[in-house]
Amino acid sequence: MRAIFLDRDGVICENRSDHVKSWAEFQFLPGVKDSLIALNQLGWPIVVVTNQAAIHRGIISADVVEEINQRMVAEIVASGGRIDRVIYCPHRPDEQCQCRKPQPGMLYQAAHDMGLDLARSYLIGDAASDILAGQRAGCQTCLVLTGRGREQLALLPDKMEGCFTVAPDLMKAVQWIIKFTL
């Protein structure tokens, strides 16, 4: 089965340099809820994969991250969209785990647990690490220019040019996927 993977901060909500530390700091980006409603027409699982190093940095607890994610999902569902699963990596970059993007561990975990075909799936993110994780897992990838997207585009190696799509925001990325698959 195909799936859509989404990064959270910078794709679904505003990216904060000091981390999203509470529900009060979580702000949906414009058009995100409508984008998720549009994704429903594909009928594929929608999975959020997000690095949350603030946990191992001692800035917030895993319980707070889980509460934020649960409230995010509830608000999306209330608006007519859906998120089928949220997977997060609590590790700092120096811990060099296999789940922290740019490693594909979260994607592999979702594929294993949900029976997903990564080669037929899509990942949408706003960072070079998102694109690299998606490509390492074999997904089609799209960099959105919201969040850190504009600055991150310059960090991707020139040899990757043409290997991923660039969209101004989540809605345009969703429209690209729908057009490409229907």
Active site residue 9: yes
What does the alpha-carbon distance between residue 172 and residue 158 come to, in Å, rounded to a whole number?
23
Catalytic residue among 7, 126, 130, 169: 7
Active site residue 117: no
Cα 48 to chain centroid, rounded:
5
Kindly give, in sequence order, each residue whose CB lies less than 8 Å from that of residue 126, ignoring residues fewer than 6 positions away. Answer: 7, 9, 10, 11, 15, 143, 144, 145, 146, 147, 148, 149, 152
Token couple for 23: 């529900």
What does the alpha-carbon distance between residue 79 and residue 40 come to, in Å, rounded to a whole number?
12
Tokens 């997903």, residue located: 116
> CA Rg, the chain, in Å?
15
The string of DSSP letters for 71-105 reads HHHHHHHHTT----EEEEE---GGG--SSSTTS-H
Residues annotated catalytic, as ranges: 7, 9
